[in-house]
Structure 1
Amino acid sequence: MDATFWATIALFLFIGIVFYLKVPGMIAKSLDDRAERIRNELDQARKLREEAQEVLAEYQRRRKEAEKEAEDIVSAAEHEAALMVEEAKQKTEEYVARRTALAEQKIAQAERDAVNEVRVQAADIAVEAARRILQDRVDTKLAGDLFKSSLQDVKTKLN
């Protein structure tokens, strides 16, 4: 009985004890449990990935909506700005037209006032010239007699 024989017997005894204690079943069960745990983790990872893709799709949809809303806001602001510019231009033109009309009215009034002033001065000059001419040519005694005579005529007509 040599060492090889005892080593073989020890090997068979070890294999027998291992099978008696159901070690291969425990190893298989342990591997099956680990495989199940890995499968569950893969399923959970797949679910998390799907949820992440749904969340990503939702955020992309929201981003697109926000971009469209921003474009709409910019478009509306540009349209409103164009309307404001047009309105300001129209109001400016109306203001200029009113100011021009007012200036024209003031110029016309100034012209009328100047013409009237010239007429008044011309009339004053003509009256003064006539007074001087009459004063030089008319006798004061004759003028006084004419005045008294005219006064008598008026008194008789009034009575």
Structure 2
Amino acid sequence: MKKLIALLALTASPAFAAGGPFLSLHNTNFVVLLAFLLFIGILIYAKVPAKIGGLLDARAVQIKAELEEARALREEAKALLASYEKKQKEVIEQSERIIASAKDEAMAAAAQAKADLKLSIARRVAAAEDQITSAEQSAIRAVKDQAITVAVAAAGDVLAKQMTAEGAAASIDAAIAQVDAKLH
């Protein structure tokens, strides 16, 4: 490699294009060639190409490590994405189950409400019928009581017209005797 660099440096130098004696210090092309060769020699002596190669190799190793880390991160991201997609699918399924359960509960609640409403209506109808029956019985009692009151009053009027003082006294005595017999 070193020899190849030196050979290329010599063949590509502008010193071959100059006229006159080439190996003279008065020839600027020769002096530039010598300085260039000296510079290349110093670089080779200081092992700059090896250091540059080492730096490039280190950089390549670093890039390779970064690529491996990026691959690992990519795989981790894929796993994480798959995990989140799985969780999302589970959440969607769970929400669908919750919705179905809520619908079933709503339907059951509606059916129960209908049954409760029918039962409540039946109770109210029965209570209304009881109230009507009670009102009828109360009205019948009131009519009977009124009829009895009217009949007693009419009977009292009739008896008062037919009764004399002696008959009233005998009737009172008979009533007292009847009460006395029942009490003793």
Matches within 5 A, 1:3-152: 3-137=28-162, 141=166, 143=167
Amino acid at match of 1:8: L
Cα distance in 1 for residues equivalent to 2:32 and 2:152:
166
Identical pairs, percent: 37
Cα distance in 1 for residues equivalent to 2:104 and 2:51:
78
Cα distance in 2 for residues equivalent to 1:146 and 1:10:
177
Report which of the two has the higher share of helix: 1
Structure 2 alignment gaps of length 5 or more: 1-23, 179-184
Map of 2:6 onto structure 1: none
Shift of 1:109: 1.2
Q: Structure 1 pair 72/144, CA: closer, same or farther in 2 (3 Å)?
A: closer
Aligned length in residues:
151
| TM-score normalised per structure 2 | 0.66
Cα distance in 1 for residues equivalent to 2:129 and 2:89:
59
Residues 102-156 of structure 1: per-residue CA shift (max 9 Å, x gap) = 1211210110121122122223322332343344345554x469759x79xx9xx
Amino acid at match of 2:108: L
| TM-score normalised per structure 1 | 0.74
Shift of 1:47: 1.1
Residues 8-63 of structure 1: per-residue CA shift (max 9 Å, x gap) = 33333443443344332222222111111111111111111221121122122212
Q: Which moved more, 1:99-108 or 1:23-32?
A: 23-32
Q: Which moved more, 1:128-137 or 1:50-59?
A: 128-137
Cα distance in 2 for residues equivalent to 1:147 and 1:22:
162
Structure 1 alignment gaps of length 5 or more: 155-159
Residues 57-109 of structure 1: per-residue CA shift (max 9 Å, x gap) = 21222122222222322332232233223323322322222122112112101
Cα distance in 1 for residues equivalent to 2:141 and 2:67:
108
